Structure 1
Amino acid sequence: MAPNKYYPQLEVGNKNYTEAAVVIIGAGISGICTAINLLNNNIHNFVIVEKSGGLGGTWRDNKYPGCCCDINSHLYSYSFEQNPNWSRLYPGQEEMLRYLHTVAEKYKLFRYIRFNSSVKEARWDGEARKWKTAIEVTGSKDAEFADHYTLNSDFLVSAVGQLNSPYYPSIPGIEEFQGKIIHTSRWDWTYDYKGKRIGIIGNGATAAQVIPSVAPDAAQLTVFQRTPNWLLPRYDAAVWKPFRLLFKYFPFSLWKIRAWMMDFREAFFTVIQDQGSGWAAYAQKNSIDMLKKQIPNRPDLWEKLVPNYPVGCKRVIVSDDYYPTFTRDNVTLETNPIEKITKNGITVEGGIEHEFDLIVLATGFRTVEFMHPIQLYGANGRALSDIWRDGAHALYGVTVDSLPNFAMLYGPNTNLGHNSIILMIESQAKYIHALISQVLEARQQGQSLAIMPNPKRTVAFNEEIQETLGKTSFAHPNCRSWYKRADGKITNNWSSTVVEYQKTLSKVDWTDFILEGYGAEQLATKKRKTYLGRVREESLFTYRDWVFVMAGLLGTWGIWAVKGKGALEGFRSWVSF
């Protein structure tokens, strides 16, 4: 290879502002992870374009009352940047955002990000083998220089995720309401909801966090429920300071806690996979027992709050305070279907009208419309809307037919109902880097390479996972969820465990792709596979082994501490907590 002869891997500057090796759309968890992966492999010639005014993705957009992570914080974080200082097992939105800022600052990512830069469309130029991405500058000051431009790149990465564009329900009369309407993902903190009559449409994972948070301050709160959800206890708690010190000074203990959390959540997939399993029966019983304990002597509410579909069909909600909220005098659960919204409130079936000052839309996102509203045009000008006319699909959820040198994170069939999505994202970033490196190697030689999944392989892969998904609780006929389309096709969720997905992406099989250009023959006929490996985070040994190792480490630390007065004082300070 001729090092840097034709294609220097330098940061994009003023003179080459419209040229980059890689364009990443989105500065959320996926975009940050992809960028760090590139930097760790000495690739600096990339740009992250972010439509918002700051990084964080969903953790910047969603800042409604009570917003927090519903996955254990020690697992919902990068494996390479574990945080020993989480304040809680389930941290709030602001702490999650601070974590992402800390990671971005450590890797100096801000100089690679262009904020207030919205992608309108991207087109593949087959002759130049480049993507031409149309950027609209939405920041008023930046737009004074140029309100739009085209950014050319050798590779395009979508890191926009699935929970990106808010879904606003088409309820008759919604424009007529004279009070305040707020979508949870666009919360207006300038509005004081204290003492107001509030109606909340939706009762999913977001609503289950909002409802207990706003109920104490509302004059009246009415929850409009279409279908109930299965709930399990969160068991949230503050992380005791001695544990934080242990995690900080003995990182192995943090890895072990993370492994335990992953083991438990991986085991929970049995609930989704086998509706008749002991795990499924236990989860259902646990949920019903919690309901009856937290709302005693209210069979009328029990009947409304127990689902008629199996556990895992929709995202299982974890909450310690959702059910008790319905015992408050100022809270009403409305299960009659909504007919319309009036200027004063909401009318339900039977003509009953509820009057409100504020209507909260906890209605989620346009989840089955991946990439919305960005328009993509691939080989021969083929539109993504045409490629996905029968539903979103991709090879391993990462690469898409007819889109050369393109990859996505958190794409079709990579969502989880049981574990941390970050575990999936890290595997995807590693896999995508392997594709990018081959394209850039060709550029280093003054050549080009186009990588596109073989449609036959994509079809075979998706037929296999759809067959598997059809046997899971996701596909239950009584279940309506954001995991699937109206026709029942499950476009969002992965069909197995995280470990199985990690193993799938632990290598690149070049025979999965149509390759054209420099190095294509070498990859397809001689190299055939590139082995990437994976970060193994599930338990490597037993809990008993862990106890012995920790005892040994603490003993060693104690002996070392006794040898020096300063060290001894430090040890005494630690054990005094």
Structure 2
Amino acid sequence: MTTAGVDNEIVIVGAGFSGIGAAIELRKAGFDDFLIVDDADGVGGTWHWNTYPGVAVDIPSFSYQFSFEQRTDWSRVYAPGRELKAYAESCVDKYELRSRIRFGTTVLAADFDEEGGRWVLRTADGAELTARFVISATGVLTRPKLPEIAGIEEFAGITMHTSRWDHRQDLRGKRVAIIGTGASAVQVIPEIAPEVEQLTVFQRTPIWCLPRPDMPLPAAARLALKVPGGRALTRLISQTYVELTFPLAAHYYTSLPTAAIGERAGLAHLRRQVKDPATRAALTPKYALGCKRPSFSNDYLATFNRSNVTLETDAIAEVTATGVRTASGVEHAADVLILATGFKVMESGNMPTYDLHGVGGRDLEKWWDENRLQAYEGVTVPGFPNYFSIIGPYGYNGASYFTLIENQTRHILRCLRHARTVGAARVEVSGEANDRFFREMLARRGGQVFWQDSCAVANSYYFDQHGDVPLRPSSTVESAWRSGHFDLDDYEFTHGERPAEVSRSR
């Protein structure tokens, strides 16, 4: 495998946990010629950008970390955002990655140079980077999604998205309107409600909110994590909990009772938390648990008991200079408008966040528009040699992102190691292998929750423009196994810079 004619053998786009995890495993495997680029000025991805009040991980910290770098000093079962940011920083320092990162570098486009068998990346500052291989680690929870509401640019007060929180703003005594009741809103609403004069929450679709088994970790618990076997047992319990609350519940909805048990727990939690029957009814989801990712909070629902908090379910007609007007003509005055409207996830322009052109100038976004979102094992797409994704279609099954990162990186390294062994400069998944995997994913989806009738009213970002849900319909154990055992014959390993002879080997 030659690296002649390129700046780096590998370029990783993204310095969040996906990029950090990929870089760590590359170094372990002896791939030292790599560069990480990111448009931010610091590492952490989601945890760099999202700093709103109350931001925290939504699964237990014991699962939301690398299996090879487990902390024993989390302050809580569900770590606050600042600790995840610090964890990212510590991983970068421990594995000596900081010198390999170029911040403030926004990739605008990546084009495959067939003559040279390399990728050429164009950046916002007009520079070019070349690499034999590209690993896309841009994530899906970094690009804010702004609502398409008439007049929103005319609002005369302060407007901010939860993922770009302006900490210079003091909300004390202010009239605040917040649009959205997804995962970010569930965390920020209980934090700001006690200090604002009035908080109006605009809800389109209620979210399933389950009790969160959260608590500060006492010194005794942290000590237990350091005892032989204690950390492994805690992680096993955590992983099992995570698996039961989403992957198994969502992907095996018709065959396992997990979701039904969760729905009963959610409704009981709602009854305990909310006093007013009308408000409780408005907060009750009309769709099955799992149609969209549920949230976990012990404070969110109870916040609607406060006299200064109003839940508004009437559709928004427009934003005015002084507030938000609903379809019924009522205007809610506001000094601050908070957009808790989530991120661009299953949308064009987000996977990846830059223009991508492969063999013959094939445009990935257009190809997906015409052929539906798909990628072999969630990692590679035919026609885009030497290009790998950490979070591609049908890669993520809903468990911890760290499990996904480790699985996908294992897949990528199998390809890179074999390419190095046979001296291949070009690695490309075959169209037949990709088609086979895509057919398998579609054939499995009948048992998922997403295809139940009630999901039609969920307004879930899981559904893409084609009506598909490109989440991997499998357990986490199966996903992990396949990442280390997929058939290498599904790839073509080509010697030289142009397609010539092909090596196939298991």
Partner SS, residue 177 of structure 2: strand
In the TM superposition, residue 441 of structure 1 has moved relative to its aligned partner by 4.8
In the TM superposition, residue 467 of structure 1 has moved relative to its aligned partner by 3.0
Partner SS, residue 183 of structure 2: coil
Please tell me the residue identity of whatever aligns with 2:201.
V
Q: Which residue does 2:390 correspond to in 1?
A: 409
In the TM superposition, residue 409 of structure 1 has moved relative to its aligned partner by 0.3
Judge conservation of contact 1:431–1:506 (CA < 8 Å) in 2: yes
In the TM superposition, residue 270 of structure 1 has moved relative to its aligned partner by 3.6
Q: Distance in 1 between matches of 2:243 and 2:43?
A: 30
Identity %: 36
Please tell me the residue identity of whatever aligns with 2:184.
T
Q: Distance in 1 between matches of 2:352 and 2:169?
A: 29
Farther off after superposition, 365-374 or 401-410? 365-374
- Divergent runs of 4+, >6 A: 519-522
Q: Which residue does 1:203 correspond to in 2?
A: 181
In the TM superposition, residue 251 of structure 1 has moved relative to its aligned partner by 4.3
Q: Distance in 2 between matches of 1:308 and 1:276?
A: 21
Q: Distance in 2 between matches of 1:466 and 1:198?
A: 44
Judge conservation of contact 1:434–1:508 (CA < 8 Å) in 2: no
Q: Which residue does 2:325 correspond to in 1?
A: 347
In the TM superposition, residue 279 of structure 1 has moved relative to its aligned partner by 2.3
In the TM superposition, residue 33 of structure 1 has moved relative to its aligned partner by 0.4
Q: Distance in 1 between matches of 2:503 and 2:392?
A: 25
Partner SS, residue 325 of structure 2: strand
Asked if residue 333 in structure 1 is aligned to residue 311 in structure 2, the reply is yes
How big is each residue's C-alpha offset from its partner over 1:152-185, in whole Å with a ceiling of 9 and x where there is no partner? Answer: 1110110001212110111011111101110011
What TM-score, normalized to structure 1?
0.83
Q: Which residue does 2:428 correspond to in 1?
A: 452
Q: Which residue does 2:417 correspond to in 1?
A: 437
Judge conservation of contact 1:164–1:365 (CA < 8 Å) in 2: yes
Please tell me the residue identity of whatever aligns with 1:423.
T
Please tell me the residue identity of whatever aligns with 2:456.
P
Match of 2:364 among 377, 384, 390: 384
Q: Which residue does 1:216 correspond to in 2?
A: 194
Q: Which residue does 2:272 correspond to in 1?
A: 293
In the TM superposition, residue 468 of structure 1 has moved relative to its aligned partner by 2.1
What TM-score, normalized to structure 2?
0.94
In the TM superposition, residue 39 of structure 1 has moved relative to its aligned partner by 0.7
Q: Which residue does 2:242 correspond to in 1?
A: 265
Aligned pairs (5 A) from 1:230-269: 230-248=208-226, 250-268=227-245, 269=247
Q: Distance in 2 between matches of 1:385 and 1:290?
A: 42
How big is each residue's C-alpha offset from its partner over 1:404-441, in whole Å with a ceiling of 9 and x where there is no partner? Answer: 00000022123343x21211110111111222234445
Q: Distance in 2 between matches of 1:193 and 1:31?
A: 35
Q: Distance in 2 between matches of 1:332 and 1:276?
A: 39
Judge conservation of contact 1:21–1:440 (CA < 8 Å) in 2: no
Q: Distance in 2 between matches of 1:508 and 1:38?
A: 19
Q: Structure 1 residues 266 and 216, CA, compared in 2 at 3 Å: closer, same or farther?
A: same
Q: Distance in 1 between matches of 2:216 and 2:99?
A: 35
Q: Which residue does 1:171 correspond to in 2?
A: 149
Judge conservation of contact 1:154–1:439 (CA < 8 Å) in 2: no
Q: Distance in 2 between matches of 1:241 and 1:431?
A: 38
Q: Which residue does 1:117 correspond to in 2?
A: 105
Aligned pairs (5 A) from 1:156-167: 156-167=134-145
In the TM superposition, residue 357 of structure 1 has moved relative to its aligned partner by 0.6
Q: Which residue does 2:445 correspond to in 1?
A: 469
Gaps of 5+ in 1: 9-15, 137-146, 530-577
In the TM superposition, residue 470 of structure 1 has moved relative to its aligned partner by 4.1
- Greater relative contact order structure (CA < 8 Å, 6+ sep): 2
Q: Distance in 1 between matches of 2:111 and 2:481?
A: 32
Quick check: which has more Rg, 1 or 2? 1
Match of 1:399 among 373, 380, 385: 380
Q: Which residue does 2:81 correspond to in 1?
A: 93
Q: Which residue does 1:282 correspond to in 2?
A: 261
Q: Distance in 2 between matches of 1:242 and 1:283?
A: 31
CA RMSD of aligned residues (A): 1.9
Please tell me the residue identity of whatever aligns with 2:404.
M
Q: Which residue does 1:72 correspond to in 2?
A: 60
Judge conservation of contact 1:409–1:428 (CA < 8 Å) in 2: yes
Q: Which residue does 2:464 correspond to in 1?
A: 485
Judge conservation of contact 1:20–1:45 (CA < 8 Å) in 2: yes
Q: Distance in 1 between matches of 2:197 and 2:468?
A: 42
Match of 2:407 among 418, 427, 433: 427
Q: Structure 1 residues 376 and 486, CA, compared in 2 at 3 Å: closer, same or farther?
A: closer
Q: Structure 1 residues 440 and 130, CA, compared in 2 at 3 Å: closer, same or farther?
A: farther
Q: Structure 1 residues 522 and 265, CA, compared in 2 at 3 Å: closer, same or farther?
A: same
